[in-house]
Amino acid sequence: MSMKKPPSILKWSIKYSITAAFASIICCVAPAVLFMFGLMGGVFAISFADFFYNDDGSEGIGSLFLKGVAVTIGIYGVYSFRKKQNQCSIDPKRKQKNLLILVTTIVVVGFSAFLGLEKWSAWYFDVHIVPAQQIELKNK
The number of CA neighbours under 13 Å toward the Cβ of 32 is 18
Q: What is the pLDDT of residue 1?
A: 43
Give residue 55's pLDDT band: very low, low, confident or very high (50, 70, 90): confident
Give residue 3's pLDDT band: very low, low, confident or very high (50, 70, 90): low
Q: What is the average pLDDT score of the chain?
A: 90
Sign of CA dihedral 129, 131, 137, 140: negative
